Amino acid sequence: MLTYTIRRLILAIPTLLFISFVIFLIVKLSPSDPTAGLPLTIPPEVREQIRESLGVNDPVFVQYFKWLKLMVWDEPLHFIEGTTGWQVAPDGPRIISYQTRSPVMDLIAQRMPQTLWVVGTSYIVGILIALPLGIISAYKQYSVFDQVGTFISMVGFSVPTFFTGVLFIVIFAVNLGWFPSVYNTTHVVTDWDSFVVQLKQIIMPVMVLGLYNASQISRYLRASMLDNLNQDYVRTARAKGLTEKIVVLVHVLKNSMIPVVTVIALNVPAVFGGAIITEQVFKVNGIGQLLIIAIQSGDVPVVQTVSFIFAVLIVLFSLIADILYGVLDPRIRYD
Amino acid sequence: MKRYSLLLGATALALVPAAAMAERGSSGHLNIIYWQAPSTLNPYLSGGTKEVESSSLILESMARFDETGMMVPWLAESIPTVDNGGVSADLTSITWTIADGVTWSDGSALTSADFVFTWTYCTHPEGGCAQAGYFDGVTSVDAVDARTVRVNFAESTPFPYTAFVGSESPVIQAAQFAECLGARAPECTDANFGPIGTGPFKVDEFRPNDVIELSANPNFRFPDRPYFATVTFKGGGDATSAARSVCETGEFDYAWNLQMDPTILAGMAAQGRCAIEVSFGTSVERIHLNQTNPDPALGDARATVEGGPHPFLTDPIVGQALSMAIDRPLLTEIGYGAGGQPTCNVLPAPALYASTANDACLVQDIPGAIALLDGAGIVDSNGDGIREYNGVPMRVLFQTSTNAVRQDAQALIKQWWEEIGVETELRNIDASVFFGGDPASPDTFQKFYADVEMYTNNFAGVDPQAYMASWLCGDMPRPQSQWQGSNTHRFCDPAYDALVAEMVRTADLNERGRLAREMNDMLVRYSIIPLIHRGGVSARAATLEGHRMSDWDSELWNIMDWRRTQ
């Protein structure tokens, strides 16, 4: 298992280099310009000076290698200095956003908390809803509960979040006035009252995303449960006189969770990647919003860095999913 | 120039009643939402409207423009004019005096050295200063004494109110930005995200592209203002949700730039929680008729003077017919509502410069357009429903940026033009490409590889001299200029160039007005088809008062006077 892991990690390096180069070319060769969003009153000479000062006019390969060197060497050192306080970071330049002219890593660090709060909570909520939904739906296949559950998960799966999000706002913020429609990223939880405020502002985006996640996971779990319920070992367990509770929740669930756990692990990078649409709708302004604004304004360093981190997480979590698979199912061995 | 001094008294009077009613911080907390979030608070490093407006709460300039486009002395004691000796008789320098007792929010005094530094900062060749245009023609900025600043121009400048006037060229603190010149500008993240200013508010926390928390500047020069103690300036989302948060949920007090379906906005406002504010500056949605030939068969000479004139759009009769066929009031009603007025001028304001000679275009006249073309012998000779001009069928490619309102307008105009026998093909291009100016892209508005194109342009400030100079023969985008240049439709008329040169030499305001109107009339007959005079549309909570919406400056220019109704 260890050699397998090491081999996969080494293989990941060329993969990530290739990914980063492709992302860079896609962003760089697409016809967008960091000065495109400026008012037309700003004359072309000034625009050219702005581009020059951003380094947009350097040759593409020079820009790529500058970025790569900063990304794999300088920025990790800055990260170490930031977390440990050791004076290891070099004095040189950092990856600078075109829009804000500030280090991209600071922007990401600033946005990570609200993304993890909202998207992370929604993922947990999604799993918590999906577990009982999937188990009962499978156990009582074609019952009323199963039909209703299937209907809800189909709705959650197929209705886009920009629709459910706005629908929630119109119902709960505009008509009922229960929750705010705008997320306050500077809100700090210090006591019970501020926790209630946080709960109120987080509930709508979490439920919108949670519904979507729950639909997806519950369908996997239901299918996996159905596969296992008809297996011989289940009949054996029942024949031994075990209670239905133990048969379903211990024997069947444990085996059914194997594929579901990998699905859950594979989707974890999406939590860090944020939710572009839902973040926009509720103005959560996390990683997803950072990325979309950067794409719109031709901010290559931000798009490049965020997509690269996203790529690293995907490579990492697919490895974790594979390893988990081996741990959960003793029949699978990688060596 | 006299009118500038006249208004000083008027503004001072206008501020009195508010001052008598309240004190600093008495209105509590103000929530502002800009659906495009500010990326930095240093307007010199961005140039975007969202950055300029948000930083105008903190940074100030010598003078600002009120809702009528009149200059109001801000950090200055008064507006310098030739009459009061502030502007030299040969119009090559302007001398500003800083008002007494102005301090930065850190308590130190504002001095002329800060203005000299600001000029040095923005004109540094490696800085990429977005507002460098405000210092065009400025040879030096001198600190005459601690409170006197003199701006020297290379040549006679009839309108010297550019540097340090309006929200786009504010003064920044020399002490804070001293180490941030040129290429080092981006290293000063703390300064760029939290500039020390002279304005009514100071930054407590800034999160780029997200939110700004501000509180009243304790050292502000007016002891009773601002009336709001704290401000949250939130960004993100879209125009509709911003309007909703002011007009329906009441979470916010002010929402900016509500470019949305006018009927939806009117419906929200009808609930009574908010008021819609509109202010008109100089923005005009217009159609440019390409004066050169964009035929792809021409290869590299496409859309250049070398490629020859357009086969039919250079004929004023064609332009006139195309203009007559358009129902401007209908376009306005559908796309802009209260935020637009039909116009026949490319230079619609200030009033002094607005021509009335073309107002006939306000009424659609399709039979008239047909008669005009028929009378000129431009007819459909082969019965396919499309007229021929000297044997060339009148087919036009009509391009604009991708935007729901523009696509609606395109569809309507296509229909009207086809009614008069001009076949129209529509095309829309993503705004970041269309306005991006990439010389390698065939789809930019400067390259103009189409017959007609539609977009909005305007000019900052109140003086149209530089704007009218956009259409000089020499300013055409062409391969030699990397396809840069403001004369996008390749208009060229020596008589026009002569008028531009005359305006540069003319100081008399009425004479400048006449010249500008004459230039406007030359353009709109008929190489530019003006459509709609567009205003800024914002929503404010019904409980917010003191707001005076100006499209000539930051919309938040007088935020120190905003207050909550009692």
C-beta atoms of A53 and B127 within 8 A: yes
Query: Which domain does B356 fall in, by range?
Result: 283-535
Closest CB to B208 among A41, A100, A180: A100
Domain CATH number, residue B443: 3.10.105.10
Cβ burial of B521 (10 Å; 0-12, 13-18, 19+) is: middle
Q: Examine residue B87 and state whether it is found in any structural domain, yes or no.
A: no
Of A32, A54, A290, the CB nearest to B433: A32
Mutate to test the interface with A, among B204, B241, B400 (most CBs of A within 10 A): B241
Name the pairing type of β-strands B254-255 and B28-34. parallel
Residue B9 lies in a domain: no
A82: contact with B, CB 8 A cutoff: no
Residues with Cβ < 8 Å from B98, sequence gap 6 or more?
Answer: B62, B75, B76, B77, B110, B111, B112, B147, B148, B149
The neighbour count for residue B245, using CB atoms within 10 Å, is 28
How far B336 CA lies from chain A's nearest CA (Å)? 20
Say whether B238 and A280 touch across the interface (CB within 8 A).
yes
CB contacts under 8 A, B 364-383 vs A, are none
Domains and CATH numbers, chain A: 2-84 (no CATH), 114-297 (1.10.3720.10)
Phi-psi region of B457 (alpha: psi -120 to 50; beta: other; left: phi over 0): beta
**DSSP class of residue B303?**
T
Locate B170 and state its tokens. 């504010």
Domains of chain B: total: 1
Shortest Cα–Cα distance, A173 to chain B (Å): 6
Which residue from B minimizes the CA distance to A52?
B128
Q: Inform me whether the C-beta atom of residue A43 falls under 8 Å from chain B C-beta atoms.
A: yes
CA distance A313 to B554: 43
B window 36-75, beta carbon within 8 A of A = 37, 39-40, 42, 45-49
Is the residue at B339 inside a domain?
yes
Q: Which residue has the higher pLDDT, B429 or A85?
A: B429
Is A103's CB within 8 Å of B457's CB?
A: no
The ipTM of this complex is 0.84
Domain assignment present for residue B95? The answer is no
**CB-based contact, A51 to chain B, within 8 Å:** yes
The answer to whether the CB of B462 falls within 8 A of the CB of B68 is no
Chain B, residues 168-187, CB within 8 A of chain A, namely: 183, 185-186
Contacting residues for B554 by C-beta, under 8 A, at least 6 apart? B52, B53, B56, B64, B167
B226: in domain: no
Instruction: Name every chain A residue with its beta carbon within 8 A of the beta carbon of B33.
Output: 182
Residues B447, B483 contacting (CB under 8 angstroms): yes
Q: What value does the mean pLDDT of chain A take?
A: 87
**What are B374's two structure tokens?**
């028929």
Is the Cβ–Cβ distance between B203 and B169 less than 8 Å?
no
B211/A107 Cβ within 8 A: no
The reply to whether residue A101 touches residue B40, judged by beta carbons under 8 angstroms, is yes
* Cβ–Cβ below 8 Å for B192 and A174: no
Among A101, A114, A163, A290, the strongest candidate for a mutation testing the B interface, having the largest count of B CBs within 10 A, is: A101
Instruction: Encode pLDDT of B417-472 as tens digits.
Output: 999 999 999 999 988 788 877 778 889 899 999 999 999 988 877 889 888 988 99
Which residues, in sequence order, are bridge partners of residue B456?
B285
Q: Residue A274: CA atoms inside 13 Å, Cβ hemisphere, count?
A: 26
Question: Which residues, given as ranges, of chain B have pLDDT below 50?
Answer: 1-20
Task: Inform me whether the C-beta atom of residue A66 falls under 8 Å from chain B C-beta atoms.
Answer: no
* Greatest Cα pair distance in chain B: 80
Put simply, whether A278 touches B (Cβ < 8 Å) is no
* Pair B372, B317: CB distance under 8 Å: yes
Report the pLDDT value the prediction gives residue B438, as an integer from 0 to 100.
76
Q: Which residues of A touch B132 (CB under 8 A)?
A: 45-46, 49
> Does the residue B380 lie in any domain?
yes
Chain A residues close to B53, C-beta within 8 Å = none
Q: Is A215 on the interface with B (CB under 8 A)?
A: no
- Which residues between 123 and 162 in chain B have a beta carbon less than 8 angstroms from any beta carbon of chain A? 125-133
Q: CB-based contact (8 Å) between B562 and chain A? A: no
Amino acid (one-letter) located at A171: I
**Cβ distance of B192 and A181 shorter than 8 Å:** no
> Where in B62-198 does DSSP place strands (E)?
63-65, 71-73, 93-97, 138-145, 148-153
Worst-scoring range by mean pLDDT, A40-54, A176-190, B395-409?
A40-54
Predicted pLDDT of residue A79: 85
**Tokens of residue B560, six digits:** 């120190």
Residue B252 to residue A182, Cβ atoms within 8 A = yes
Question: Which of helix, strand or coil describes residue B528?
Answer: strand
Residues of A in contact with B437 (CB under 8 A): 33, 35-36, 44, 47
Q: Is residue B221 part of a domain?
A: no
Q: Work out the burial of residue B10: count CB atoms within 10 Å of its CB; fewer than 13 is exposed, 13-18 middle, 19 or more buried.
A: exposed
Is it the case that residue A186 has pLDDT exceeding 90?
A: no
Separation CA B97–CA B513 (nearest Å) = 29
Percentage, residues of chain A above pLDDT 90 = 23
Residue B417 CA, chain-centre distance (Å), reads 30
Asked if residue B506 belongs to a domain, the reply is: yes
User: How many C-beta atoms surround the C-beta of residue A260 within 10 A?
Assistant: 22
User: What is the C-alpha end-to-end distance of chain B, expressed in Å?
Assistant: 40
| SS3 letters across B413-443 | HHHHHHHCCCEEEEEEECHHHHCCCCCCCCC
What pairs with residue B29 in β-bridges? B230
Strands B201-207 and B211-216, how do they pair?
antiparallel
User: Are the C-beta atoms of residues A291 and A99 closer than 8 Å to each other?
Assistant: no
Give A80 to chain B, closest Cα distance, Å: 20
Chain B partners of A110 at a C-beta cutoff of 8 Å?
207-208, 210
CA A157 to chain centre: 17
User: Is the Cβ pair A41, B133 closer than 8 Å?
Assistant: yes
How many CB pairs (< 8 A) connect A and B?
Answer: 177
